[in-house]
Amino acid sequence: MEDYKVVRYSSLNYVEWNAFVSKAKNATFLFHRDFMDYHQDRFEDFSLLVYQKDKLVAILPANEHENKVYSHQGLNYGGLVLNEVIKFEVVLEVFKELLMYLSSSGFESLILKQIPSIYNSVISEEIQYLMFILKTELIRRDTLSVIDLNNKIKISNNRMEGFKRGKKHRLVIKEEDSFELFWNNILIKNLKEKHQAKPVHSLNEIILLKKNFPRNIRQFNVYKDDRIVAGTTVFESKSVAHSQYISGDENKNVLGSLDFLHVHLINDVFKNKKYFDFGTSNESNGLQINRGLQFWKEGFGARTLTQDFYQVKIDNYQLLNNVFV
């Protein structure tokens, strides 16, 4: 429709993009360009802005790879980001315009990694309905373990026993601006030994992101006699505290260090948030769940929320033409 215009993001849109993110109904600081661009050397950015009569009404944080566009592969979540007052009919038209633009640009499909609903400030499930109309393929569904902090389930005896062990061993929790001790002494070592993996963010990258978002990225370490024994890196958004990285040393069960830490975070540090998000325990592209990890998270009262991944066949945009009667 001539009322709408799709524009590919460039640095000229930096201020406008970030201002939109700050007021969108389904966005967090992860969509700020200072977060997205820290790994711009690894991804070919293909973020888009959609205007209605010259007013910005939606953005799509995205990258391109092998003839597909992804709602950004470098982020925990993504999808179409919308302004707070947008109505369903406009969302439909915006998404159709996006697909038409991608079709004319020669792409075959769009992979959407939806933002979990707990991160929305206003109800926002328009895209889920459009996925149904567009006959999209659900290619993955992850489970997140989330605590509703306004309706908490009692923490299990197992987790409270761990908390008591932490008190008995006189563990000390400190919030720190430095990530080196946790990254070098705990996290990198454990990921390599247990999963033959590395943190998604390098130490230098998390230091840079902390500098850019000092209120949103927080590091909590646990000490036994001045020696670090555990820690977590938390990504904090308006309504949600999310443990991005959690790890403890080989004595974590004996000391109860991770139980001690997370009871404190849930009951004290983040008690005024709406949700505490432990993230996923999925493996094998979402098809399996790590039983032990899931059991541990649910011991704090976390319960299951799903995050969907869709593959949209771009040329199906014509299916959106006859939704209204």
Report the share of the chain in percent with pLDDT over 70.
99
Q: What is the CATH number of the domain that holds 174?
A: 3.40.630.30
Task: Using CB atoms within 10 Å of the CB of residue 281, give its burial: 0 to 12 exposed, 13 to 18 middle, 19+ buried.
Answer: buried
Examine residue 287 and state whether it is found in any structural domain, yes or no.
no
pLDDT one-digit tens code per residue, 19-67: 999 999 999 999 999 999 988 888 999 999 999 999 999 999 999 999 9
Number of domains in the chain: 2
Q: How far is CA 58 from the centre of its chain?
A: 19
Round to whole Å and give the CA distance between 22 and 20.
5
- Whether 259 and 207 share a structural domain: yes
Q: What is the pLDDT of residue 197?
A: 84
Please check the confidence at residue 72 and state whether its pLDDT lies above 70: yes
- Whether 315 and 243 share a structural domain: no
- Whether 181 and 131 share a structural domain: no
Examine residue 301 and state whether it is found in any structural domain, yes or no.
no
pLDDT one-digit tens code per residue, 274-307: 999 999 999 999 999 999 999 999 999 999 999 9
pLDDT one-digit tens code per residue, 154-207: 999 999 999 999 999 999 999 999 999 999 999 999 998 887 888 989 999 999
- Whether 169 and 263 share a structural domain: yes
Please check the confidence at residue 8 and state whether its pLDDT lies above 60: yes
- Whether 201 and 259 share a structural domain: yes
CB 260 within 8 A of CB 171: yes
Instruction: Check the CA dihedral 127-131-137-141 and report its sign.
Output: positive
Q: What is the pLDDT of residue 193?
A: 86
Phi, psi (deg, nearest 5) at residue 301: 100, 10
pLDDT one-digit tens code per residue, 112-145: 999 999 999 999 999 999 999 999 999 999 999 9
pLDDT one-digit tens code per residue, 203-252: 999 999 999 999 999 999 999 999 999 999 999 999 999 999 999 999 99
Q: Average per-residue pLDDT in the chain?
A: 96
Find the domain containing 119 and state its range. 4-141+307-320
- Whether 216 and 259 share a structural domain: yes
Please check the confidence at residue 101 and state whether its pLDDT lies above 60: yes
- Whether 255 and 311 share a structural domain: no
- Whether 36 and 93 share a structural domain: yes
Q: What is the pLDDT of residue 196?
A: 81
Examine residue 300 and state whether it is found in any structural domain, yes or no.
no
Structure-block tokens of residue 227? 């020696």
